[in-house]
Each structure stands twice: as C-alpha cells, then as structure tokens.
Structure 1
C-alpha cells in the first residue's frame, strides 16, 4: 500500500511540474512580456514540457497494458541508423541552445544496420533512457547514443555524465517504484515512479532483446545498453 501511495504521489508530481511550466510560459506570452528574440526559445521549452507530460502519461498507460497482458510487441526489420538519426534530430528540437548535448556515435565505416525490433517499443525504450540521462545527468548534461555491432546482434548504449550508481544496485534500477540516488545521498535508493526502466526492460524482453545498466560508481555517469538481434 505504501508503494502505491508513493507511486501516486510521484506520478502526480511528474505531471504537475511540466504542467506548471507550460502554464507559466503561456501566461508570460499572453501578457506580452516576451522579447521577440526569445519567442522561439520559449516555444521550444513549452514543447519540451508538453512532451514530458505526454511521456509520463504514456508510461502509466503502458504499465497497465503490460500488467494486463494487453500490449502486443511485434518485431520487424528496422533500419537502425536512419531510426537513430531521426530520433536524435527530434530530441535536438528541444535543445535549441545546446543541440550538441545529445549525439549519435555511429561506428566508422559501418553502413546501415537492420535489426529485429518493434519500432514503437524501440522508441519508447530510447525515450525512457534518454529522459533519465538528462534528468540525472551532469551540469551540463552530456548524452551519447553509442552503437556497437556484434556478430548476431547490435548493442545500443545510452551514456551520460551524471550521478551514476553503485554497481551492485544495477538490477534494483529496473524494479518498479524505485530509482537510484547518486553521490552524496544518505540512502542508495529511494521511492519514485520507477516505471520508465521497468517498462523498458519488459519491452526489450518481448522483442527478444535485453537491457542492462552499468556504472563505475556514484559521480561517474551511467551506461544503459539495449541489445537487439540483427536482421539477417
């Protein structure tokens, strides 16, 4: 019961925060107090906050569908390079001042790679991992999506320069309603929504892949790696 109450409180907070930001932006613009040169920047911020709100709602709905067995995950052939380039370009739209904060590191000399994945599930996993990377990233956050081809699979890693975690806590990160804390925390774990990583783990499994977490310790950033099968 305590976990449920903590979950409801955390979700409410996650929804109210971007909503308050959007409301404040609209009030400022409606009052005509925004210099013309700042309009595009504020619009980008408003879009970012609205996507954050939408993403929180989608995760709650996804969690319900997964628990109720009502979500189908169907793997198909996906061109990974084009998919990731489009994903990174989309994320950069909400970083007008620092588009370089997220980058795609594609291996030199390697062309397109086809993998077996559900496109929507793949996008959801990446959104969750990148959202966490920025949320718990350094100051300023630096996020990279690294691609490593293997014999029968491809590893896609989301790497950040953030708070990191104790290596022995990696599995706990995927437990619903929990999330890790970094350096300087009294406790290594605390309650939170914890839905993003648990959903991503289940989606990866249903696509026939796997999802892992690594860190060299608090203050040393994190690496979350999704491994999916190559489409031969």
Structure 2
C-alpha cells in the first residue's frame, strides 16, 4: 500500500521537474531571441539558464531517489518488525500455555524445541541487522585470517540442513577444485555470514522444496568461485543487479509473502568486495531458479606451501 501511495508523489515530482525545465528552456530561447545582438546579456544569460536547467534536473533526480529510498526504508521497517514480532509472539504464546496448562513431558519438550527455534530466528534477525551496519564500517586491512573455503562451505551446508530440517538430497555439494587447496584471506565470521545468507535465500525462495547445487571451483588459478544454484521462483532480469542493494526486495507476489529484511544479498556483496572479490546473480527468469556466484581471491602463496608439505 505504501508503494501505491508513493507512486503519485514520484509522478508529481517528475512532471513538475519536466514542466519547470520546459519553462526554463522557453525563457532561455526567448532571452536569446530578444538579446541576440547584445554581447553581454548573451554571455551572462546563456550560462545562467544552463545552470538553472541543470539544477532543476538534478533536483528532480534527487527527489525521485529520496522517494525510492523512503520506500525501501519503509519496507525494511515493516519486514524487521514482522521478523521480530512473530517469534516473540510465538514464544509468549507457548510460555503462557506452559504456565496455565498441565502438559505431558513430551508436549513440554516439543514446546521447548519450538521456543528455541523461535529464539534462534529472533537472534538471527538481530544479528543480520547489526552485521549490515558493521560490515560497512570495517576497514579492509583488518582482514588477515587464513580461511579454508571448503571446510567453511561444508559447515554452512550442514547448518542449513539442520536449521531448516532438510534431507541430505536437498543440497548437493560438488567440489570442482579437486585436491587443490581453497584458501582465502579474510574474516571467517563474515565469510560464513555471506555463504549462509545465500543458502538461506535458496531455502526461502524455493516454496516447492529446495533442490540446490553448491559448487566450488578455481578460475584462472587466482579466484575461488562459489556457485549456489536453486530451482526456486527465479528473478526477472531487470532485478538481477538491484537485489544486492540495501533493503531491496523483488516486487513479486511470492517474494513479498516470504520472510526477509532485504539485507541478505546486500551483506553478501559487501563482504565479497571487502575481501577483494564480488558477487553476482544469474537467472533465466521467473520460475526458472537462481544462481548466486561468490568470487574471492585465492591465496596462491599459501596454496603452494600446502602442496609442498
């Protein structure tokens, strides 16, 4: 509803800006016609009107961007509010049930398991919001730890399987690098956050059940590339670059029904670029799955030492 209400505001600012630019151009042309034989009015007037037109165009662009930024900000607040309120409400409901009713031990254990899962959900949401503010302020030269991407990816896959109660066939892992070491220099917690966010997205946007393929490869002997492909709802080509922006969520019916803050892929690309790499999204279109590629620079010196040993 907020997006619908803001659209007229965007149309108004664009129309107003276009009209003002048209008036400025008309005045400029009239000025030139009236003073074309006079040197100083031409010298002063033409640059002045050019600056006026440029200012109007820039002001219109700024206003439209602010409207769009406010849309994303409102969507983020709504999403975070829902992400926080839902598990809190659930935990409170089960606690009240435990307090008011006599339950069997099996029922109590079941309630405890549900409340623990809800608290994990709540903690994950808070940590993601905090991480989004933290990664943008961390200096790149603080990243010094040697990280084994093979071990890190395997751990993230196991965590995803346990957290979402997935079968072993839901996520296949293809280590295309073979025996070559897959070492990068980076912050292991941040890299784990990036990989985990990609896997979580694959789960969230596969409403008919997850079928994901995780592949680690070495490209040009200098890059380690992690590709995570799913068979979920897919992404239209117009949104492939935008999904890495802060708070951005694809305006698709299935997406809007899915829990999320719009920070997951923003964190993925931010962390990748802080490590000297990048992240891109690929999709053949809606309903045809998505592939997220995380590319990181390989530690060639450490690889040589490992092979020598």
Check if 1:117 corresponds to 2:186: yes
Contact 1:59 1:195 in 2 (8 A): yes
| TM-score normalised by the chain length of structure 1 | 0.81
Check if 1:203 corresponds to 2:271: yes
Relative to structure 1, the CA distance from residue 32 to residue 145 in structure 2 (aligned partners, 3 Å threshold; closer, same or farther) is: farther
Higher helix share: 2
Check if 1:50 corresponds to 2:119: yes
How many residues align? The count is 225
User: What is residue 196 of structure 2 aligned with on the other side?
Assistant: 127
Contact 2:283 2:291 in 1 (8 A): yes
The secondary structure found in structure 1 opposite 2:249 is strand
Runs of 4+ in 1 over 6 A off after TM superposition: none
- The runs of 5 or more residues in structure 1 that have no matched partner are none
Q: Which has the higher contact order (CA 8 A, sep 6+)?
A: 1
Relative to structure 1, the CA distance from residue 215 to residue 22 in structure 2 (aligned partners, 3 Å threshold; closer, same or farther) is: farther
- The runs of 5 or more residues in structure 2 that have no matched partner are 1-69, 301-309
Higher strand share: 1
Contact 1:129 1:158 in 2 (8 A): yes
The secondary structure found in structure 1 opposite 2:241 is helix
Contact 1:80 1:114 in 2 (8 A): yes
Deviations 1:116-143 (A, max 9, x none): 3321110111121111111111411223
RMSD over aligned CA atoms reads 3.1
Contact 2:150 2:182 in 1 (8 A): yes
Check if 1:216 corresponds to 2:295: no
Contact 1:88 1:103 in 2 (8 A): no
* TM-superposed deviation, 1:48: 4.0
| TM-score normalised by the chain length of structure 2 | 0.62
* TM-superposed deviation, 1:229: 1.1
Relative to structure 1, the CA distance from residue 166 to residue 95 in structure 2 (aligned partners, 3 Å threshold; closer, same or farther) is: closer
